[in-house]
Amino acid sequence: MALWGGRFSTGTAKVVADFTESISYDKRLYKYDIMGSKAHSAMLAASGIIPKETAGKIAVELDKIGERIEKGDFTFTPELEDIHMHIESELIKVLGDEGARVHTARSRNDQVNLDVRLYLRDEITHIVEGIKELQKSLVDRAAADADAIMPGFTHLQHAQPVLFAHHLLAYVEMFDRDAGRMIDCRRRLNMLPLGAGALAGTTLPINREMVCELLGFDFVSRNSMDTVADRDFMCELLSALAIFTMHISRFSEDLILWSSQEFGFIELGDAFCTGSSLMPQKKNPDIAEISRGKTGRVYGDLIALLTICKGLPLTYNRDLQEDKEPVFDAIDTVKMILQVFPPMVGSMELRRERMLSAASDPALMATDVAEKLVELGVPFRHAHHRVGAFVKWCKENGKALDQTTLAEMQITIPEANEGFLKLFSAHDSVKAREVTGGTGPENVRRQLEYWQEELS
Catalytic residue numbers, as ranges: 155, 276
Size of the site for ligand ARG (CB under 6 A): 10
Q: Dihedral sign for Cα 190, 194, 196, 202, please.
A: negative
**Is 178 near ligand ARG (CB under 6 A)?**
no
In the bound state with ligand ARG, the residue whose beta carbon lies nearer, of 108 and 292, is 108
Nearest to 109 by CA among 4, 16, 237: 4
CA distance readout (Å), 289 to 130, 131, 171, 179, 239: 20, 19, 17, 23, 21
Q: List % helix, strand, coil for the chain (3-state, nearest 5).
A: 70, 5, 25
Binding mask 63-92 for ligand ARG (x = CB under 6 A): -------------------x----------
Q: Is 108 or 384 the residue whose CB approaches ligand ARG more closely?
A: 108
Regarding 109 and contact with ligand ARG (CB under 6 A), the answer is yes
* In the complex, minimum distance from the CB of residue 321 to ligand ARG, in angstroms, rounded to a whole number: 4
> Nearer to ligand ARG by C-beta: 82 or 236?
82
* CA nearest to 122, candidates 214, 37, 216: 216
Give the shortest CB-215-to-ligand ARG separation in angstroms.
19
Write phi, then psi, for 256 (nearest 5 degrees): -65, -45
**Please, what is the minimum distance in Å from the beta carbon of residue 22 to ligand ARG?**
4
Region of 107-115, 280-288, 395-403, 443-451 interacting with ligand ARG (CB under 6 A): 107-115
Close Cβ partners of 27 (under 8 Å, ≥ 6 residues apart): 69, 76, 83, 86
Least separation in angstroms between CB 140 and ligand ARG: 42
User: In angstroms, what is the minimal distance from the CB of 110 to ligand ARG?
Assistant: 9
Cα-based distances in Å from 363 to 150, 325, 410 = 14, 52, 17
Query: What residues pair up with 151 in beta bridges, in sequence order?
Result: 161
Q: Is 141 in the site for ligand ARG (CB under 6 A)?
A: no
Nearer Cβ to ligand ARG, position 147 or 319? 319
| 131 in Cβ contact with 178 (< 8 Å) | yes
User: Is 359 exposed, middle or buried, given 0-12, 13-18 or 19+ CB atoms closer than 10 A?
Assistant: buried
Task: Report the alpha-carbon distance of residue 349 to residue 347 in Å, rounded.
Answer: 6
- List the one residue from 43, 112, 359, 369 that touches ligand ARG (CB under 6 A): 112
| Closer Cβ to ligand ARG, 274 or 317, answer by number | 317
Q: Which is nearer to ligand ARG, 322 or 434 (CB)?
A: 322
Question: How many Cβ atoms sit within 10 Å of the Cβ of residue 296?
Answer: 11
Q: How far is CA 439 from CA 170, 315, 424, 429, in A?
A: 11, 53, 17, 9
| Binders of ligand ARG in range 298-317 (CB under 6 A) | 316
Closest CA to 31 of 123, 118, 126: 118
Q: By C-beta, is 197 or 342 nearer to ligand ARG? A: 197
Minimal distance in Å, beta carbon 90 to ligand ARG? Answer: 16
Interaction between residue 22 and ligand ARG (CB under 6 A): yes
**135 in contact with ligand ARG (CB under 6 A):** no
Q: What CA–CA distances, in Å, run from 246 to 38, 291, 296, 303?
A: 40, 10, 9, 14
Phi (first) and psi of residue 223, to 5 degrees: -130, 115
Smallest distance from the beta carbon of 318 to ligand ARG, in angstroms?
6
Among 268, 320, 364, 413, which residue interacts with ligand ARG (rule: CB under 6 A)? 320
- Is 439 a binding residue for ligand ARG by CB under 6 A? The answer is no
Interface residue with ligand ARG among 101, 103, 108, 384 (CB under 6 A) is 108
321 part of the interface to ligand ARG, by CB under 6 A: yes
Plot region of 284 (φ>0 → left; ψ -120 to 50 → alpha; else → beta) = beta
How far is it, in rounded angstroms, from Cα 196 to Cα 143?
52
How many residues would you count in the chain? Answer: 456
Q: CB 4 → ligand ARG: shortest distance, Å?
A: 8
Binding region for ligand ARG (CB under 6 A) out of 105-113, 244-252, 383-391, 397-405: 105-113
Nearer to ligand ARG, 299 or 316 (CB): 316
Interface residue list for ligand ARG (CB under 6 A): 22, 26, 82, 108-109, 112, 316, 318, 320-321
